[in-house]
Amino acid sequence: MLAATEKIIFTGPVGAGKTTAIGAIADTPPVGTDVPCTDGAWALKSTTTVAMDYAYLLLDDGTRVHLYGTPGQERFDFMWSILARGGIGLVLLVNCDHPDPVAQMEFYLDAFADFIRETGVVIGLTRSDLAATVPLEAFQARLLERNQVVPVFEIDARNPEDVKVLIHALLAVLGH
Amino acid sequence: MALSPDNEHSVPHGHTLYLAVAGLGDQDRLALTTAVKLLAHDGKPFALLEAQPRRAHLLVLDADHREGREALAAARPGQVKLLLAAEARIGRNLIAVRKPVDIGRFRDLLGRLYEKMAAQLSRQDAPARPAAATPVDVFRTLLDARHQRRRLVLEVAGAGSAWIDGEAGSVTSTLDTAALHRLLTRPAGAFTVREPAPGERAPAGEVQVTSLSTLLWDAALACSGGRLLPGHDTETPVRLKAWPNFTRHAFHPDHLKLAAALARAPHTLAGLAAATGVPLATTIDFHNAAFAVGLLERAGDDAPAAAPPAPPPSRRGLLARIARRLSLRR
């Protein structure tokens, strides 16, 4: 019998740390589809994910929880709904050194609005330790204006404990 | 009946006991609801939870009905069950009653259960931990500084000092982070608090600058000991304005449950503890911390909204296994 499968979706803009966050908690190194950047994203990183990242968590009963990272570039947004279908919940990562990270957050909340309504979302703010970044309170205030009281935490995507806290918050949102 | 030590469902006198019903026929349900009305006059209030029976203090089930047996199987081990059955049953936290059960029997049983559960929580409700706080504890001192936008100096003889700036929301300290946090649980007399002298400035050189909110959060958890801040109570609904930054704050895993429940709808603290199964003392500590850093507010006249339906049992099991697999070190 095939083991049961479930999936958690990681999304966010280019350079937000999706691949890194998945790698921080997965049992397997992320299998990526990274290619050299040929558009404006080259300024942020040398390669980018064009289809998805993939890794999994193996649970004690043999269940695999798939961790999918969506491609960050918006021209691949047709992949997002395909990847999200059947997912448990959404992890949205936003890099705070973006010129307008609050708008980035809103863009992804809107893009995944239906999926979020059916499941849940948590938001991880990466690179918040860099100078002159937008403070956490700005994200919280905008979420409150949108009537969305969702978890939003500062994280280091390389730190497994930070990513685990994010997932635990997602589980709490989902009713665990 | 002796309630098992892990029973989390006791309530203090005067508080509402939440009960859920499964599989009861119309006659039994009518008898139960009538008994509940009578008990309210006896000062033993019960409220019926229409959803999420696992979150009720008490389950009333009919074992001869499929719905009742399913609810029994899905109940938490520590949950108290009043089981209506044709035959006697024995189980942990389980009271089996032969049918039929009339109004008087329900009133007697529920009344006695209320007494036992209230008495148990009275013990549990006493400060859950030895109060680490001093008579003028650090938490209250920091909270006053923030609310009144005052500057204060905390000094630990021979160790160093912390400059609290309620206006700027910062703490500048010659103590390292660990020492600063140890200060939160110091006994009375271990530190002094004073107004800065005219012209006195925050320490410079090798200092730690941290957010006052971070220290306030930690101080609330270290000093509250299950006691509410003055002017607050367990019966006024509160709402969460934003989630605490849990990756940068100390927290108990139950705080995630509390934040998630409050993010869905305003709750009273008593209702929140009942709905989540989190001990009231932990709920109060979380409330104090979230209130202190401005993440919580009173919900006014807003009635708590109905809780969303619980995830199906299969999904609950999956979520629990994911949580185990990603266990936190804190």
What SS3 state is found at A132?
coil
Give the pLDDT of residue A38. Answer: 54
> B107 and B42, same structural domain?
yes
Q: What is the pLDDT of residue A103?
A: 95
Asked if the Cβ–Cβ distance from A168 to B321 is below 8 Å, we say no
Which run of H or of E encompasses A167? helix A160-173
Nearest CA-CA distance, residue B188 and chain A, Å: 35
Chain B residues touching residue A128 (CB < 8 angstroms):
none
pLDDT tens for residues B145-184? 898 899 988 887 777 888 999 988 888 988 877 777 777 7
pLDDT band at A2 (very low <50, low <70, confident <90, very high): very low
CA–chain centroid gap for B191, Å, is 30
Distance from A76 to chain B by nearest Cα, in Å?
A: 29
Q: Which amino acid is at B168?
A: A
Report which secondary-structure segment, H or E, holds B282. Answer: helix B280-292
Band (pLDDT 50/70/90 cuts) for residue A67 is: very high
B309 lies in some domain:
yes
R_g of chain B, CA atoms, integer Å = 24
Question: Do the beta carbons of residue A174 and residue A89 sit within 8 Å?
Answer: yes
CA-nearest of A118, A90, A119, A83 to A105 is: A90
Q: What pLDDT was estimated at residue B313?
A: 62
Collect all residues of chain A within an 8 Å Cβ-Cβ radius of residue B329.
161
Asked if the Cβ–Cβ distance from A59 to B325 is below 8 Å, we say: yes
Chain centroid to CA B318: how far? 25
How close does chain A come to B248, measured CA to CA in Å?
A: 7
Domain span at residue B101 reads 17-125
Mean pLDDT score across all residues of chain B: 80
**A22, A31, A60, B278, B318 from B325: Cα distances, Å:** 14, 21, 7, 22, 11
Q: Where are the domains of chain A?
A: 5-173
Helix B280-292 and helix B212-223, axial crossing angle in degrees, nearest 10? 160
Interface residue B316 vs chain A (CB under 8 A) = yes
Query: CA angle at residue A95 from A66 to A39, to 5 degrees?
Result: 90
User: DSSP string spanning B193-245?
Assistant: EEPPPTT-----SS-EEEEHHHHHHHHHHHH-TT-PPTT--SSS-EEESS---
Q: Å from A42 to nearest chain B CA?
A: 30
pLDDT value at B190 more than 60 = yes
Minimal CA separation from B221 to chain A, in Å: 18
Q: Report the CATH number at residue B250.
A: 1.10.10
Structure tokens at A37: 């950047």
> CA gyration radius for chain A?
15
Q: Report the pLDDT averaged over residues A29-55.
A: 64
Instruction: Check whether A20 has a pLDDT greater than 90.
Output: yes
Tokens representing B279 are 């001990």
Q: Within this chain, do residues B182 and B257 fall inside the same structural domain, yes or no?
A: no
Number of domains observed in the structure of chain B: 3
CB < 8 Å & 24+ apart, contacts of B133-137: B133/B222, B133/B223, B133/B224, B133/B225, B134/B186, B134/B187, B134/B188, B134/B189, B134/B190, B135/B188, B136/B188, B136/B193, B137/B219, B137/B223
- The pLDDT > 90 percentage for chain A reads 61
* A58 CB within 8 Å of a chain B CB: yes
Q: What's the pLDDT at B136?
A: 47
Q: How confident is the model at residue A160 (pLDDT cuts 50, 70, 90)?
A: very high
CB contact under 8 A, B326 and A161: no
Residue of B214, B246, B255, B264 best to disrupt the A interface, most CBs of A under 10 A: B246
3-state secondary structure of B44: coil
**Whether residue B215 sits in one domain with residue B176:** yes
Average pLDDT over residues B272-297: 94
Judgement on whether residues B187 and B92 belong to the same structural domain of the protein:
no
Q: Does some domain include residue B330?
A: no
Please say if the pLDDT value at position B13 is more than 50.
no
Cis preceding linkage at B77, omega within 30: no
Rounded Cα distance, B184 and B151, in Å: 18
Say whether residue B240 is in contact with chain A using an 8 A CB cutoff: yes
Q: Is residue B74 part of a domain?
A: yes
Range B80-92 average pLDDT: 77
Mean pLDDT of A67-94: 85
Closest-CA distance of chain B to residue A88, Å:
9
Side-chain half-sphere of A154: how many Cα atoms within 13 Å? 15
Buried b / exposed e over B231-269, threshold 16 CB at 10 Å, is ebebeebbbbbbbbbbbbbebeebbbbbbbbbbbbbbbb
Q: Which of A5-14, A61-70, B191-200 has the weakest average pLDDT?
A: B191-200
Helix (H) or strand (E) holding B272: helix B269-276
Name the domain boundary from B159, B193, B221: B221
Measured between beta carbons, the chain A residues lying within 8 angstroms of B247 are 153-155, 161-162, 165-166
- Domain boundary among the residues B221, B256, B274 is at B221
Is A94 at the interface with chain B, CB within 8 A?
A: no
Considering B125, B154, B169, which residue would you say is the last residue of a domain? Answer: B125
Within this chain, do residues B35 and B112 fall inside the same structural domain, yes or no?
yes
pLDDT interval class at A98 (50, 70, 90) = confident
Angle ∠(A114,A116,A117) on CA atoms, nearest 5:
65
- Closest chain B residue to A4, measured at CA: B318
> Taking CB atoms and an 8 Å limit, are B247 and A153 in contact across chains?
yes
Q: Could you tell me the fold of the domain covering A5-173?
A: Rossmann fold (3.40.50)
Average pLDDT over residues A141-168: 95
Rounded to whole angstroms, how far apart are CA atoms B152 and B166? 8
Q: DSSP state, B122?
A: H
Most confident option among A123-137, B13-27, B207-221, B298-312: B207-221
Residue B183: predicted pLDDT: 73
Tell me the three state secondary structure of residue B303. coil
The reported pLDDT for the residue numbered A145 is 94
Assess if residue B228 is contained within a domain.
no
The two tokens of residue A114 are 């239906």
Residue B35 and residue B33: Cα distance in Å, rounded?
5
Measured CA to CA, the distance from residue B296 to residue B291 in angstroms comes to 5
Rounded to an integer, the average pLDDT of A45-63 is: 79
Of A153, A161, A171, the CB nearest to B323: A171
Residue B290 within any structural domain of the chain? yes
A97-117 average pLDDT score: 93
Interface pTM, i.e. ipTM: 0.88
Q: Is residue B133 part of a domain?
A: no
Instruction: Label residue A51 by pLDDT band (50, 70, 90).
Output: low
Beta bridge partners of B95: B82
Q: Would you say residue B316 lies in a domain?
A: yes
End-to-end CA distance of chain A: 27
Q: Which region among B222-226, B253-257, B288-292, B326-330 has the lowest average model confidence (pLDDT)? A: B326-330
CATH assignment of the domain containing B40: 3.40.50.2300
Chain A residue nearest residue B329, CA to CA: A161
